[in-house]
Amino acid sequence: MALEEARKARLRGEVPVGAILRDGSGRVLAADGNRTEELHDASAHAEMLVLRAAAGLRGSARLPDCDIVVTLEPCPMCAAAISAFRLKRVIFGAYDPKGGGIEHGPQLYRAPGSHCRPEVIGGVREQEAGQILKDFFAALR
């Protein structure tokens, strides 16, 4: 589902990153793709959008039984938000050596001041997620 959200984002002219947020039973609470261009909002990353939507649906700023599935390693902003929302697990596709905030860059969940340290599973369908991004950027050149 996150890959499909990434494809939809690409069709909108957005960097093709998609995310879903699901509860402990696996029910999808929110799904979206990047909307930074559409909304003229640098914080409108797929992760931020699904976090906000799920929190609104639940009526709570904490989502401790939830997982986020995203096609690209979250950036530092999104990784910090995931921690603030107290998610249980982060599952992502492609690694992001330039802009990632979990396995690369600041590695926020390894920092002593991290609010919460969710379980992290990276590289899920990594090739497919990475190819969507490669195709998007190749078309821009």
pLDDT tens, residue by residue, 7-57: 999 999 999 999 999 999 999 999 999 999 999 999 999 999 999 999 999
Residue 47 annotated to the active site: yes
Q: What is the pLDDT of residue 55?
A: 98
List, for residues 72-119, the tens digit of each pLDDT value: 999 999 999 999 999 999 999 999 999 999 999 999 999 988 879 999
Q: What is the pLDDT of residue 133?
A: 98
| Spatial distance between the Cα atoms of 21 and 133, rounded to a whole number of angstroms | 21
Task: Please enumerate in sequence order all residues whose Cβ is within 8 A of that of 133, keeping only pairs 6 or more positions apart, or say none.
Answer: 15, 16, 17, 71, 72, 94
| Spatial distance between the Cα atoms of 127 and 36, rounded to a whole number of angstroms | 24
Q: What is the pLDDT of residue 141?
A: 81
Residue 129 has pLDDT above 80, yes or no: yes
In three-state secondary structure terms, 119 is: strand
Q: Residue with structure tokens 């990434």?
A: 6
The catalytic position among 5, 14, 47, 103 is 47
